[in-house]
């Protein structure tokens, strides 16, 4: 047991934020106290991301800043958690002398022991990956956040081996958490007043625990509390289950929003990326999504300038994005990662300048699509879950629509945690602005026939 104060700084994806909440729980259980700033802490952890080089650069810079804190406070311990741990443990510990403890994503239960080793004057490392670890029995402790929306991790790891992606190497093989433990966590969140849960996994539609698949899990999750709404991230287009589309269409509390990463728009690129679907299959899938769930909002991930990308392939990505008209897109320049297939087999040969200009072209097109579509929202009504006060003013609330758009509206008599019907009156490319009309309940507002779907 230790009475130390700890601080965790998290980089990267939502999975990492969910993992930091698991680490919170492990450390609090060990007698430690969470604090909100690095300066107050006896132990600082950085939960790291390796997905692109600039994510790693940010972490390195931050560790260097902590080195000066270490000089001022000689008992200060600095630890690296997460995806960067395994890849650069030797570098971190031996050469740079920045870090005392390194823990990979499957070894968080070992942190209390590792801290004891550090106390005894040793450097401590555990970067072993596991085939089973899901932290199913650990209840995450959410020390930051708004108390209204939460992430719940349902599976870990990835077996897809897209040629550009380091995740299978940093986070290991796919494994799913038992459904009972997921439903228990959702129930607790509902009792604590949370209103929205995003089910998380590197590859959510690969969820499989005994005979339970992802659609069944969503079905059961949505029944825990009909006034709690659900999203999920991220599915893979190669095997998106159509029954899930029908379930989303029917259930009032399954949000009409799907993040469906395309990565690229040409068959040749998709093949080099080891994404096992064609452009045509992808477009057929998004077409079905729009057909089955009227008004569904779609978002995507796109990589510009992957190995050997021709201008024609780039234009195919542009045209795919134009056809689908995503409501939101996460767009990146390709960043070569060690150990991936692309690193071993292909050349990172699109010049930096070309990568950047293609990325800019992709972003500009996307922004103009979003602006155009947001203008069409004016006059529409949305059910918005109020998440808290808006950034600009205490007199305004902000939250997201069922379709995942950020909406800001005057507070009037409404409170955080309520579903409010809002009429959109204005917009920017990123935010909708509206007028609140009334407080609603999900079940009464949508009145869909929920039980016909899975019969
Ligand atoms: N370079 C650029 N973007 C990448 N992504 C994954 N690996 C890389 C890489 N090496 C993007 C993908 C993925 C998202 C999480 O990050 O688009 O869907
Ligand atoms: Fe990476 Fe592909 Fe797995 Fe996503 S599906 S985590 S992009 S390997």
User: What is the CA(340)–ligand 2 centre distance, in A?
Assistant: 11
pLDDT in tens, 253-273: 999 999 999 999 999 999 999
370 and 397 within one domain: no
95 — pLDDT class (breaks 50, 70, 90): low
The confidence score (pLDDT) of residue 320 equals 98
Query: What's the CA-to-centroid distance between 419 and ligand 1, angstroms?
Result: 34
Whether 256 and 154 share a structural domain: yes
Nearest CA to ligand 2 atom 5: 160
Please give the pLDDT value at position 62.
Answer: 94
Task: Identify the band that residue 1 occupies on the pLDDT scale cut at 50, 70 and 90.
Answer: low
pTM, whole model, 2 decimals?
0.93
Nearest residue (by CA) to ligand 2, atom 1, is 165
Which residues line ligand 1 at a C-beta cut-off of 6 Å?
51-52, 164-165, 261, 263, 301, 303, 332, 334-335, 337
Q: Check whether residue 70 and residue 158 sit in a common domain.
A: no
Ligand 1 centre to CA of 165 (Å) is 6
DSSP state letters, 348-360? --S-HHHHHHHHH
Residues 169 and 185 in one domain: yes
Average pLDDT of the chain is: 94
72 or 148: which carries more pLDDT confidence? Answer: 148
User: Tens digit of pLDDT for each residue in 236-248?
Assistant: 999 999 999 999 9
Which residues does 76 contact at the CB level (< 8 Å), separation at least 6? Answer: 41, 42, 43, 44, 66, 69, 70
CA of 168 to the centre of ligand 2 (A): 7
Please indicate, yes or no, whether residues 181 and 196 belong to a single structural domain of this protein: yes
Residue with the larger pLDDT of the pair 98 and 222: 222
Pocket test for ligand 1, best of 332, 333, 334 (most atoms within 8 A of CB): 332
Residues 367 and 304 grouped into a single domain = yes
- Is residue 396 one of the residues assigned to a domain? yes
Vertex 101 angle, CA 95 and 104, to 5°: 105
CATH classification of the domain holding 389 = 2.40.50.140
Q: Is residue 135 part of a domain?
A: no
What is the extent of the structural domain holding 396? 381-452
Q: Which of 70-74, 272-276, 384-388 has the lowest mean pLDDT?
A: 70-74
In a domain? residue 447:
yes
In the chain, what is the straight-line distance between the N-terminal and C-terminal CA atoms, in Å?
52
| Ligand that comes closest to the CA of residue 164 | 1
For residues 87 and 110, state if they share a domain: yes
182 and 324 in a single domain? The answer is: yes
Residue 309, in any domain of the structure: yes
Pocket of ligand 2 (CB under 6 A): 158, 160-162, 165, 167-168, 202-203, 236
8 A C-beta contact, residue 177 and residue 202:
no
Instruction: Check whether residue 341 and residue 210 sit in a common domain.
Output: yes
Nearest atom of ligand 2 to the alpha carbon of 202:
6
Task: Look up the CATH number of the domain holding residue 207.
Answer: 3.80.30.20
Residue 94 pLDDT > 80: no
CATH code of the domain covering residue 96: 3.40.50.12160
Check residue 451 and give its pLDDT: 44
> What is the rounded CA–CA span in Å between residue 50 and residue 53?
7
Question: What is the arithmetic mean of pLDDT over 12-21?
Answer: 94
Please report, for residues 180, 226, 310, 397, the alpha-carbon distance to residue 185 in angstroms, rounded to integers and kept in the order given.
9, 15, 47, 27
Do 101 and 17 share a structural domain?
Answer: yes
The band of 450, judged by pLDDT with boundaries at 50, 70 and 90, is very low
142 in any annotated domain: no
**Whole-number pLDDT of residue 444:** 85
194 vs 444, residue with greater confidence: 194
**Gap from CA of 328 to ligand 1 centroid (Å):** 16
Nearest-atom number in ligand 2 for the CA of 161 is 8
Percent with pLDDT over 70 in the chain = 97
Which of the listed residues 126, 161, 181 is the one where a domain comes to its end? 126
Look at 13-17, 96-100, 201-205, 210-214 and tell me which has the smallest mean pLDDT: 96-100
Q: Do 210 and 287 fall within a single domain? A: yes
In this predicted structure, the answer to whether residue 292 has a pLDDT above a threshold of 60 is yes
Residue 140 resides in a domain: no
Whether 334 and 405 share a structural domain: no
**Structure-block tokens of residue 412:** 């009037």
Min mean pLDDT across 102-111, 136-145, 367-376 is at 136-145
pLDDT at 455 over 50: no
User: Of the ligands numbered here, which is closest to the C-alpha atom of 12?
Assistant: 1
Residue 136 included in any domain = no
> Is the model's pLDDT at 355 over the cut of 50?
yes
Domain assignment of residue 271, yes or no: yes
The radius of gyration computed from the CA coordinates of the chain, to the nearest angstrom, equals 23
For the stretch 402-417, pLDDT in tens is 999 999 999 999 999 9
Q: How many domains does the chain have?
A: 3
Is 342 a residue whose pLDDT tops 50? yes
């Amino acid at each position: 047991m230790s009475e130390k104060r700890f601080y965790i700084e998290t980089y990267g994806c939502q999975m990492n934020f969910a993992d930091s909440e698991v680490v919170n729980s492990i450390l609090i259980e060990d007698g430690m106290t969470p604090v909100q700033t690095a300066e107050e802490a006896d132990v600082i952890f950085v939960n790291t991301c390796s997905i692109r080089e600039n994510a790693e650069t940010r972490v390195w810079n931050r560790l260097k800043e902590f080195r000066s804190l270490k000089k001022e406070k000689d008992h200060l311990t600095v630890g690296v958690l997460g995806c960067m741990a395994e890849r650069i443990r030797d570098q971190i510990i031996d050469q740079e002398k920045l870090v005392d403890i390194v823990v990979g994503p499957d070894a968080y239960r070992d942190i209390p022991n590792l801290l004891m080793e550090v106390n005894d004057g040793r450097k401590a490392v555990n970067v072993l990956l596991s085939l089973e670890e899901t932290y199913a029995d650990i209840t995450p402790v959410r020390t930051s956040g708004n108390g209204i929306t939460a992430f719940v991790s349902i599976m870990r790891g990835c077996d897809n081996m897209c040629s550009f992606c380091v995740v299978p190497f940093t986070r290991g093989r796919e494994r799913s958490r038992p459904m009972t433990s997921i439903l228990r966590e959702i129930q607790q969140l509902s009792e604590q007043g949370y209103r929205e849960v995003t089910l998380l996994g590197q590859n959510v539609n690969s969820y499989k625990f005994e005979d339970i698949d992802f659609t069944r899990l969503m079905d059961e999750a949505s029944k825990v509390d009909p006034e709690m709404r659900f999203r999920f991230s991220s599915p893979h287009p190669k095997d998106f289950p159509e029954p899930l589309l029908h379930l989303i269409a029917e259930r009032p509390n399954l949000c009409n929003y799907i993040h469906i990463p395309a990565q690229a728009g040409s068959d040749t690129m998709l093949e080099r990326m080891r994404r096992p679907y064609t452009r045509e299959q992808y477009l057929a899938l998004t077409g079905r999504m729009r057909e089955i769930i009227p008004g569904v909002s779609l978002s995507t991930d796109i990589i510009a300038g992957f190995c050997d990308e021709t201008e024609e392939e780039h234009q195919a990505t542009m045209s795919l994005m134009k056809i689908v008209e995503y409501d939101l897109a996460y767009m990146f320049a390709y960043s070569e990662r060690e150990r991936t297939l692309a690193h071993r087999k292909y050349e990172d040969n699109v010049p930096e300048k070309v990568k950047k200009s293609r990325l800019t072209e992709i972003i500009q097109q996307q922004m103009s699509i979003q602006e155009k579509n947001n203008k069409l929202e004016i006059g529409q009504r949305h059910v918005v879950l109020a998440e808290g006060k808006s950034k600009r003013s205490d007199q305004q609330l902000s939250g997201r629509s069922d379709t995942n758009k950020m909406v800001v509206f005057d507070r009037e008599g409404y409170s955080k945690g309520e579903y409010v019907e809002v009429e959109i009156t204005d917009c920017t490319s990123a935010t909708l602005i509206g007028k609140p009309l009334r407080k609603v309940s999900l079940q009464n507002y949508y009145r869909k026939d929920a039980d016909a779907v899975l019969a």
